[in-house]
Chains A and B, each alone.
Chain A
Amino acid sequence: MSDFEPRIVAFFCNWCTYGAADLAGVSRLDYPPNFRVVRLPCTGRLNPKYIIEAFKRGADGVWVSGCHPGDCHYIAGNYHARRKFVLLHHMIEAVGVEPGRLHFSWISSAEATKFQEVAREVVEKVRASGPNQSFRKAELDLGLAEVA
């Protein structure tokens, strides 16, 4: 398992965390290349189905990150996202996805260093969870998986 490189899908809001990732670039702050970013206008746009879809397609982890509470460019989208996320976190545990695979953070567009730290942390935690097989297995048990 030592050479396991997790594949992570990240959902960032355009105004805060996507900006932090931009700034991390400008500041040349190194972090592992294991995630792919889907840019959303706001974490409020994040339909929980996207997270399920990512796991279904074999993502080893999902990372959602938006503006700090109170900082949302759209006033309150991140609060809606947070509510959905809390529920989803309970739900995916029930279907066998380890909690270490799903991450949520607040990173403002000025927090490049925090971005780097969280990026490293997310990758390490997902790496520790190993390849994502349990979700697929749970799906099969429920008869939900697509026919390959």
Chain B
Amino acid sequence: MAKVVGAVMVAGGGVAGMQAALDLANAGYYVYMVEKSLAIGGRMAQLDKTFPTNDCSMCIISPKLVEVGRHINVELLTLTDILAIDGSEGDFKVRVRKNPRYIDMSKCIACGECTKKCPVKVGNDYNELLDTRKAVYVQYAQAVPLKYGIDAEKCLKLTKGRCGSCEKLCPAKAIDYTQKAEEAVLNVGSVILAPGFTPFGPRGLETYRYADSPGVMTALEFERLLGATGPTMGHVVRTSDHKEPKAIAFLQCVGSRDVNRADNGYCSSVCCMYAIKEAIIAKEHAKYDLQVTIFYMDIRSFGKDFERYYEKAKAKGIRFVRSRIHTIQPLADGGLRFHYVTDHGRSATEDFDMAVLSHGLTITAETVKMARQFGLAMDHYNFAKTSSFSPVALSRPGIYACGVFTGPKDIPSSVMEASAAAAAASSKLASARGTLARTVTVPPPVDITGEPPRVGVFICHCGINIASVVDIDKVVEFAKTLPFVEYASNTMFACSQDNQEQMVKLIKEYRLNRIVVSACSPRTHEPLFMETLAEAGLNKYLFEMANIRNHNSWVHAGNPVEATRKAMDMTEMAVAKAALLAPLTENVIDVDPTALVIGGGVAGLNTALALSSQGYKSVVVEKEGRTGGNANRLMSTAKDENVAQYLAGLQAKVEADPNISVVLNAEVDQVSGFVGNFETTLTNGDLVKHGVTIIATGAKEHRPEEYLYGQHPRVLTHLEMDEKFKAGDAEVAEAGAFVFIQCVGSRETGRLYCSKVCCTHTVHSAVTLKKKNPKARIFVLYRDIRTYGQREDIYKEARDLGVIFVRYEPERKPRVSQTGGKLAVEVHDPVSGRDLIINPDFLVLASAIVSGRENALGMKYKVPLDEDGWFFEAHQKLRPVDFATDGMFMAGLCHYPKPLDEVVAQAQAAAARAVTVLTQPKMTVGGIVAEINHDKCSGCGVCAAVCPYSAINLDPAKAGKAVVNEAMCKGCGTCAASCRSDAPALRGFTNAGLFAQIAAAL
């Protein structure tokens, strides 16, 4: 490559685009983030909650929005379209058009005065048109950038030359009707497209009566109805008459898995889960016994913790009915009469007050046009074409994708792909890394030694989340009376970008040297505020939060008086502690730019290769005598790609790569150290020094204990069948009848999860067999077919080829017997009500994927596993490849079962996340760690004995007194609580501070 530019363009500011932008920016690349609307956030900003944790969606993306908005290496271009991409990988010239906002962003203070007199009411797209906004508006309350904009198509001034009231009202003189679109050419090394999706519009499907019945809404509309910031503030009512529904029905697969009317044959992957989520939340919001029914074809709860969520929903009384509704008849009272055929073939009629259409995800016409124009290959559903082995690379070199653009997927998969896209998009740009990135210049912290505490207190409304319960003004007035408080005020959203800027100003103006924010949880928002302190030149540890939302307004909504009193107490406790806080120093340590990758399967090898493309060395340790793991046994992917060929190529690349060394027949023996400086001894005696660790230990195929497995030579698992396919087994080729049994060992007590890959594997094997021998009789005995995304195509193909699918109920599992070597499978067909007996030549068991239960390894690196033995990520939605422990990442099946393309994506993602650590030559540690007062220490050694990290030693050079290794101390404080002389103190959690909090609490 002639020229390599160290910048990347990320198009689309949804959660995927944001993650890709942040990973690139944190790895030393300059990022242009292009967003066509007024603000970033995408679809996730519209969601009320996220499955399966029911985390509040806005709460978890808000910190990301702010991080993107304030990142020194992310240039945010809102209202911008991409016109053309010229050039080639390494050196693209991207022509963009920046459309006018008609508001000067540098002047707008987001006060909202402009909206007051605006006479134009427009459907509010953020609330799915359930209410209205003005022609001058802000996309949503927490928007980044938090700047207003004018809707040029609706504004009277811009369309007819009349009005102009906003210009008159704006106190900042920010309105500028004369702004014009501007074109620019940006030079970047690669491009990531994350244009997202638009939900399927059900207007054209008359069956559902969406167009003419107000009781019928889409799931996204319903999501907004559930949202605290939605049109009814979370109150579930029929929008037409504001009546509370007694019975709601969800209709699955609207615009998905439907080739007859919607032309979308694919499964949208997320609708089953979001319907369950909305059902659970709706029941929680209703103060009465709301009846919720979900009409479905197959429940596809295939992700991590999804099956438990589904079971939880059933336990909460949500009813699941397997049927596709054929007629909805509106009733005079606004209700709806459903006509459907039950699973047993009988006609049924049932009335509901509301219907929610679980509409699928589709690619917009605009995205299709863009993809064509940029010369990108697309599949017949208009998703961008990718290979399973390079899941984020598009057909044109240098252009990558993440999120729904390549196929319907949920948030964690999108985030994983986003990090993968960051890795792939920078793989050819390593030589230019850091050339365009700017470095953060945090002002040196002001020395506050000797100054009396001057506490600033900020009380957050959190929109209405806090303010609707707590009397904010009263808390502010109270805060002003507390000792050392110099300044106290309220704020609509403490976390918003404009408030951060405001805080910096106020800290300087009032010379504040301690900050208290009474808002939400420090677990999510403390880092954000600490960064703001640093920007203001204040040591970031001079900060304390009071959690008056999660621990107060949200749980005492019925008791505003006590909630206000509690908020006052909590603020007082925080102020009392804050006044005693001391600035803490952080130490700089070297980062060893090497990775240890544990596991040499497809995940581990891909991680190592992706790290190598950025110039980092890896040691891959594999316990077997060969690399490749489970892929050694697989025949092909769902897209018919040959796995053996791929694996051979991958192994050859790894072998030829000077940055990668593979250690076979070895495992991790002993571990010491921490992020930046791990030391791992392998069982072969090798000592590896590494800065990051990637766990990619894979998983195993479950060995069934039923269905005559192990007792009959023709009862096989999937991997055993694949080996026969690969060997061209003559018996298989000649066989006339096959039975596949699904969910063998999955989705049952003790293993309450879906193994995700088995349905697709079975359907693919069935199709392969049918193509070879069309006369073969093939039966698939299943519970729900879960061929999610575009995989649905091969399920349809299997049915078209004559594969027979028979559902069984878990209470009536198939029975397998043999007489004289001949297999017999007996299954009860719930549709016909009959027992079928099939005599297959081969019985294939879609047996579960089980974790290796690597508890010992987890203990060594201090990372957790969940109850099924999968490694537990830092956050199920937004940090799917990180551990909570710094410098630790994961990839592949050790996280959860997944198909090969998702394994590769996660491996690349792990590399991208690891690079954000490895790229720092030095990193800071310390802060909240223990220190020993040697005047009090008698050298008894209790602290050293209780320290779980061996971070304390008795130092002969210090007269046998205790000393703390700050880099190894994790700040638990056990030493401080165990010393009889109070010699150890945990910085940030000192005795004095905690006593002050206790006193303030009472």
Contact = CB atoms under 8 A, between A and B. Distances in A.
A, B assembled together: yes
A71 interface: yes
Contact of A38 (B864, B970, B1001): B1001
Interface in A18-39: 18-19, 21-31, 33, 36-39
A25 B548 CA distance: 10
B428 interface: no
Nearest to B521: A22
Interface stretch (A49-57, A90-98, A137-145): A49-57
A37 B547 CA distance: 9
Given A28-B284, A28-B554, A39-B522, A57 B998 contact: yes
Contact of B976 (A21, A37, A45, A84): A45
Contact of A75 (B884, B948, B971): B948
B276 to A, nearest CB: 15
A74 B566 contact: no
Contact of A36 (B554, B566, B971, B991): B566
A25 B555 contact: yes
B551 A25 contact: yes
B523 interface: yes
Contacts of B928: 41
Nearest to B928: A41
B230 to A, nearest CB: 15
Interface string B45-63: 0000100011110010000
Given A25-B550, A42-B973, A44-B973, A36 B569 contact: yes
A121 to B, nearest CB: 15
A21 B551 contact: yes
Interface string B946-974: 10110000000000000000000011111
B558 interface: yes
Contacts of B555: 24-25, 28-31, 33
A46 interface: yes
Nearest to B1002: A57
B636 interface: no
B998 A38 contact: yes
A65 interface: no
A41 B976 CA distance: 12
A126 interface: no
B54 A26 contact: yes
Contacts of B522: 39
Interface in B52-93: 53-56, 59
A131 interface: no
A44 B986 CA distance: 11
A27 B977 CA distance: 33
A123 interface: no
Given A25-B554, A30-B557, A42 B972 contact: yes
B234 to A, nearest CB: 9
B563 A40 contact: no
B697 interface: no
Contacts of A53: 995, 998-999
Nearest to A59: B1002
Contacts of B1002: 7, 9, 36, 54, 57-59
A18 B49 CA distance: 20
B284 A77 contact: no
A34 B531 CA distance: 33
Nearest to A12: B551
B854 to A, nearest CB: 15
A46 B523 CA distance: 19
A45 B977 contact: yes
A84 B979 CA distance: 12
B109 interface: no
B563 to A, nearest CB: 6
A33 B562 contact: yes
A37 B977 contact: no
Contact of B998 (A19, A54, A75): A54
B978 interface: yes
Given A25-B550, A46-B977, A50-B998, A18 B523 contact: yes
B997 interface: yes
A47 interface: yes
Contact of A47 (B558, B884, B976): B976
Given A30-B556, A50-B994, A71-B864, A41 B971 contact: yes
20 contacts: A21-B550, A24-B550, A26-B56, A27-B284, A33-B556, A38-B573, A41-B928, A44-B972, A44-B977, A45-B974, A47-B991, A49-B991, A50-B998, A53-B999, A54-B1001, A77-B974, A80-B946, A80-B977, A80-B978, A84-B977
Interface of B: 49, 53-56, 59, 284, 521-524, 547, 549-552, 554-559, 562-563, 565-566, 569-570, 573, 862, 864, 884, 928, 946, 948-949, 970-974, 976-978, 986, 989, 991, 994-995, 997-999, 1001-1002
Given A22-B524, A22-B547, A33-B559, 7 more contacts: A9-B1001, A9-B1002, A25-B550, A26-B54, A26-B56, A27-B54, A53-B998
